[in-house]
Chains A and B, each alone.
Chain A
Amino acid sequence: MSGKKRFLEYGAVQAILAAVLCIIAGLFIGFIVLLLINPAGAWNGIVTIVKNFLNYPSKPAALKYLGNTLVKTAPLLMCALSINFCYKTGLFNIGAAGQYVVGAGACLYAALGLKMPWYVCILFAMVAGALWGCLVGLLKAYANVNEVIAGIMLNWIGLYLVNMLLSRVKEQASPYTEQISAVNSAALLPTMGLDTLFTKNKYVTLAVPLAILIAIVIWVVLNKTLFGYEVRATGFNKEAARYAGMNEKRNVVLTLVIGGMLAALGAAFLYLSGYEQWSCTQSSVPAMGFNGIAATFLGGLNPIGTIFSSYFIQHITSGGSYLDKSIYPSQISDLITAIIIYLCGFVLFFKLSLNKYLAAKKESASGRNREEGGKAS
């Protein structure tokens, strides 16, 4: 038998296949839910979700709304990268949501309160996120506090601190923060001409290519550098990392600092585009950080794969908002996307089943191959 790998045995192929299977399963279950609620509009409904910006017949309009999806993909990708990076050290950074929140608070306050230019605002966000991640890391490394517990606590602490902080720069009549474009347009991320590509969608900024670039950098750091070697060794086997003299505590803190920075950058990418304002009365942690978990797993825990999975998740999330509200209650779009995202968590399961299937197939095939003189290989 030749030692050559079959097409289906490559890790990347498997990851993609598993992700596609999850997506199909998620859409299918979503379809069934729509059927149960109102069979008449179910097919149209699911098509609407999948089509997202393509629901607009004119090309310029479609492009413009593709731009909107991209604007929200960038922050999702950053949150996913944050979780991905920490996961490689064996840490489950559910605190990414909170790091995202403090990032939003810091960059918006720098923009609206301190009237700083955009690059300083980004710096503010990164420092805040790093600090938030650092707290989790220190607790984990030196007090053995589980990073999930610390992360969730800090999510809420962060949310209310940010609500308090941003109340100082909110509009008089609404709970939303002031428009950056009205108060300090220097804080808006430069569009670098990208807006013209998307039918003058001024929200498409530097953030989109930058997020993709950062994903590639993260992949390089993890796979090609000394730090990545240590991070992954620690994730695979903490004891062996310690035996090899790696400074495990420092690496845990450093990983979470980087994770925090990434998530906070995501917030800066969204809020400094001016696409959304922060609502100072919100009482739940924005879902962005949590959706990052789904994006990471759907992306096969690979930073490059995460680029595509983040886009997909944002694509259907945006698509959900086009559902016909006269047939389905407005929450249904969230429900459908939630189901699909939930199914994304099954990527690892699908991968495992696939490998089992391949192994079993190989068993029976290898016997046959020999009889045929190994023609098939």
Chain B
Amino acid sequence: MAEEYAIEMLNITKRFPGIIANDNVTIQLKKGEIHALLGENGAGKSTLMSVLFGLYQAEEGVIKKDGKEVKINNPNDANDLGIGMVHQHFKLVQCFTVLDNIILGVETTRGGLLKKDEARRKVLALSEKYGLQVDPDAKIEDITVGMQQRTEILKMLYRDNEILIFDEPTAVLTPAEIDELMQIMKNLAAEGKSILFISHKLNEIMEVADRCSVLRRGKYIGTVNIADTNEQELSRMMVGRDVQLVATKEDAKPGQVILDVQGMTVASKRHKNNAVKNVSFKVRAGEIVCIAGIDGNGQTELVYGLTGLEPLAAGRVTVSGEDISKAPIRRRMKKMSHIPEDRHKHGLVLDYPLDYNIVLQRYFEKQFVNGAGFLKAKEIRKYAEKLIDQYDVRSGQGAITIARSMSGGNQQKAIIAREIDKPHELLIAVQPTRGLDVGAIEYIHRQLIAERDAGKAVLLVSLELEEVMNVSDRILVMYEGEIVGELDPKTTSTEELGLYMAGAKREEVSA
């Protein structure tokens, strides 16, 4: 019954200097099933997929397609075998149309000219068959993230791929788009496509997958039928211990006002309207206030305004009584710490080693630089090693590891270590758990609560409903640049929060 499997990766072992990324891993993908691949960051999921795509060669193990052993030396080989992948970060040409992106690389031409009519018919047929709604003539830069993802899926289907890999596809989607994607995946499987679904979101795996294989620290832990398991068991397999899926915390004991925002307005870079419109709120010491909302409703600009990355168009921001409305970033950071939304864009200098990144917000302090302007390399190293140890930041070569080579979760941990350890009264954390696994999420939530209990004011910006409900003491909902509701997570339901987020409900909020 070898043909039962569309693709098999048997006993794969892949080593890197100082680390075994995949240690005897076996994954068997049945035809027409949705097979989840679950693991923490750094568990070896990406490496395994890179092996499947021929980006890396495994030292041991074989890959079989339809029961026959195959050799995959480069991505073209993978493509020839009908393996396609939707990457977490889309590989689309921004200024091309949806159709152009789909046919890119496999264009049909006549006499050097593109023949798009045929391609368009095929794309429309595919999109109808699988319920993938796209506008073939819209430019990528103008369409939603959800539609961009559907474009990626159509790219695979257009190439007649039979084995579809989704690499953490829901990380960038809104709740409604996630539901839609789940349905699409089920449709695809029903049509006989085999799907490998890489994720660490347990509820999604429970909803959509047939079977689930779990990796932990490069090792293969096992494969289970979803019908016979539950979230607790999966998380135990993934993390190796029992995980608290819901953060427990004492009631908040709010103290004095730390952050006071009055009439804050921030201009938008994308359109002529203001991204943040006349927003006022306060955050007190010892409480976690969460800004909830669907992505793109002004949360990013709100944080930019607070941290100084964008100037305020109007309004006043004070931190512990000090007016910082026009203060430069360096002065603001004396009182606040900022876990940025985009760790690659703002949070890290990826080409710097880890220790240099850990002092990114304090390299200029007396303890790290002498009077003549020379860095104290030893002190920096020592401090970094202390934080690496304390916050369990894992990397190949410790403090001298280049940040770029670290896994996303550990990069985030390094940022969190840096921001929490530096003196501050206010912590602004923007989507601190984005793209992380349950183990790391649990850890970060505990850190945020510990911050609160240590008497810091915490402003959390999150798109995850569960996170909003679990961690915060107070919820402010943002919709189209305004705060449309203030809710108490203890007395509010997820549904009600959803209504506010969608703009269907609003109340007058007095700050």
Contact = CB atoms under 8 A, between A and B. Distances in A.
- A and B: real partners? yes
Interface of A: 1-3, 224-227, 229, 232-233, 236-237, 239-247, 363, 366-367, 370
B394 interface: no
Contacts of A240: 345-349, 360
A218 to B, nearest CB: 14
B163 to A, nearest CB: 24
A350 B350 CA distance: 23
Contacts, number: 77
Contact of A229 (B18, B356, B361): B356
Contacts of B373: 225-227
6 contacts: A3-B18, A233-B360, A240-B348, A244-B333, A247-B330, A366-B59
B17 interface: yes
Contacts of B356: 229, 233
A246 B328 CA distance: 10
* 3 tightest Cβ-Cβ pairs between the two chains A and B: A245-B330, A245-B329, A243-B346
Nearest to A233: B349
Interface in B57-106: 57, 59
A224 B375 contact: yes
B374 A224 contact: yes
B372 to A, nearest CB: 8
A366 B340 contact: no
Task: Give the interface centre of B328, B345, B351, B360 by most chain A CB atoms within 10 Å.
Answer: B360
- Main secondary structure on A side of the interface with B: helix
A40 to B, nearest CB: 46
A352 to B, nearest CB: 15
A1 B396 CA distance: 13
Task: Give the interface centre of A3, A236, A245 by most chain B CB atoms within 10 Å.
Answer: A245
Contacts of B346: 239-240, 242-243
Given A236-B350, A243-B329, A229 B338 contact: no
A226 B309 contact: no
A367 B374 contact: no
Contacts of A239: 345-346
A254 B361 CA distance: 21
B232 interface: no
Contacts of B348: 237, 240
Interface in B369-395: 369, 373-375, 377
B397 interface: yes
Given A240-B360, A244-B363, 6 more contacts: A226-B363, A227-B373, A229-B363, A236-B349, A244-B329, A244-B361
B225 to A, nearest CB: 35
A367 B61 CA distance: 11
A240 B344 CA distance: 8
A3 B397 contact: yes
A139 B375 CA distance: 30
A242 B340 CA distance: 12
B396 to A, nearest CB: 8
A237 B330 contact: no
B57 A363 contact: yes
Nearest to B369: A226
A243 B338 contact: yes
Contacts of A241: 349
A301 to B, nearest CB: 13
A187 to B, nearest CB: 33
B333 A245 contact: yes
Task: Give the interface centre of A239, A246, A363 by most chain B CB atoms within 10 Å.
Answer: A239
Contacts of B352: 232-233, 236
A232 B352 CA distance: 9
A229 B340 contact: no
Nearest to B59: A367
B328 A245 contact: yes
Given A240-B360, A370-B59, A226 B375 contact: yes
B15 A226 contact: no
Contacts of A236: 349-352
A237 B350 contact: yes
Contacts of A367: 59
A8 to B, nearest CB: 14
Contacts of A370: 59
Contacts of A247: 328, 330
A247 B328 CA distance: 9
A377 to B, nearest CB: 10
B374 A226 contact: yes
A101 to B, nearest CB: 31
